[in-house]
Each structure stands twice: as structure tokens, then as C-alpha cells.
Chains A and B, each alone.
With several copies, the nearest count.
Chain A
Amino acid sequence: MSISISVQAGTFDVGVEYAGLREGNVADGATAIFVGSVRDFNLDQSVAQLELEHYPGMTEKVLEDIAGRAQQRWQLGRVRLVHRVGPLLPGDDIVFVGACAPHRQAALDACAYMIDFLKTEAPFWKKEYGRDGVRWVDAREGDREALKKW
């Protein structure tokens, strides 16, 4: 039932994050993980670099709130959210969402729920430095749509 949140400039190691979710944890048979990475293109503009801005203080609060709601909705064990900020390159990992649970459906649903709400509630903004210039990434209508299933 523990929640762990990190907002950090440095990268994260999926193996280390997984180990943190599992160590000494024999009650939870299921772990679901989602990792988001920088793609090399977004809506046809080739992306050379990304800059992730955030709202320090609010970011952590929103992530804890999302994780807390997931824990109220499903029977979960450990939950871990990591989000990077600052400059990122194509292929770099941006976000880690991990949830342990006694049963797989809870872990999988909670993982999908948390990334869906993170995408629309957590105060992060992506700026793309591409071949065709610099631009702020537009919010996707599909991200709002995705919330309807919860």
C-alpha cells in the first residue's frame, strides 16, 4: 500500500525500479509497468530534442493524488511513478508507471488508469526542437477521450 513518486532530471533504470517494487514482496503476484519514451517524430515533425517543463510542487502533488485514487479503486500493493523533466533525446525514457497487486487485472487496470490521468492532469509540458523549428506540443484530444473508460 505504499506510494513512491519521483520527478527528476536524470534517467531511471527500469530494472532498478522493478526491483524496488518487488523486493521482499511475496504477497503481490502481479506487476504491471508502463514506460513512455521519446519518439523520433511526432505528427510528422522529426524531433531532435525535447524539453520537459513542469510546475514544481504541484507535479508531485498531482502524481500522489493519481496514485492514491488508484489505490482506493483497486487492491494494490506498491505503486511507483517516475517522471523526468528537462532536456531529453529521442529514445530517452520519460515516464515510469508501476503497480503491484495480488491479481493481474488490478495491476494492469491501475497502470493504465494512472498513465491516462497523468497525461491529462499532471502539469508537464513538452517542447519539441525539430528540423522545422521549435514548438510546444499540443494536447491530444485522444487523451481526454481515454478518461471516459474510467
Chain B
Amino acid sequence: MIRVLFFAGLREQLGCADVSVPAGSGTTLAGLRAQLGERDATWQRALADENVQMALNRQMAKSDSIVRDGDEVAFFPPVTGG
């Protein structure tokens, strides 16, 4: 399984803090994101936002990163700390 976390405004938009999805073979972050977007119109719209950033195993990651079984993925808006 792949654990997927959502933070801040994105979490509120989805009404969801985390989901677990089965690990497909050779899935990229972009693929996982598209797959999650198929859930419904809200998820589609929220995850289509090009500002949404991605982390793979707690490191900033790009769309073409490969996601493997046991990985932790996160989607979130641009950070605003400091």
C-alpha cells in the first residue's frame, strides 16, 4: 500500500487528511495524482491545481518520481512558514 497525506487548504478542500491506495507497478507521482483525481469532481479540481506540491518519503519530489509499495506520499499547497 501507499500512504497518501494531504495538508492545509488541500486537506480541507478534500475533507481528507490521508488515504491508503494499493501500489501499482511502475506508478509515478503524476500517475498516482491522476488516479486520485478520478474519485470525484472535487478531487479532480483540487489535484489539477498546478500549484499543488508533492513529497515522496518526506522529501520534495517531482511528477516523474516512481512510487513504490510502502512509500509515503504527500500533496500540499505551497508552503508558508517562517
Do A and B touch, yes or no (CB under 8 Å, in the complex)? yes
Q: Write the residues of chain A forming the contact surface with B, with a CB cutoff of 8 angstroms.
A: 36, 52-55, 57-58, 61-62, 83, 94-95, 104, 115, 118-127, 136-140
Instruction: Verify B58–A54 contact, CB threshold 8 A.
Output: no
Known A58-B58, A136-B9; contact A115-B79, beta-carbon cutoff 8 A: no
Q: Once A and B bind, how many residue pairs between them come within 8 Å at the CB atom?
A: 76
Q: Does B59 contact A (CB under 8 A)?
A: yes
Q: Does B82 contact A (CB under 8 A)?
A: yes
Closest 6 pairs (CB-CB, A-B):
A124-B81, A139-B78, A125-B8, A58-B58, A136-B9, A119-B82
Not counting A57-B58, A94-B82, a sample of 19 additional A-B residue pairs whose C-beta atoms are within 8 angstroms of each other reads: A52-B81, A55-B58, A55-B74, A58-B58, A58-B74, A119-B81, A119-B82, A121-B60, A125-B8, A125-B9, A125-B80, A126-B80, A126-B81, A127-B8, A136-B80, A137-B80, A138-B80, A139-B79, A139-B80
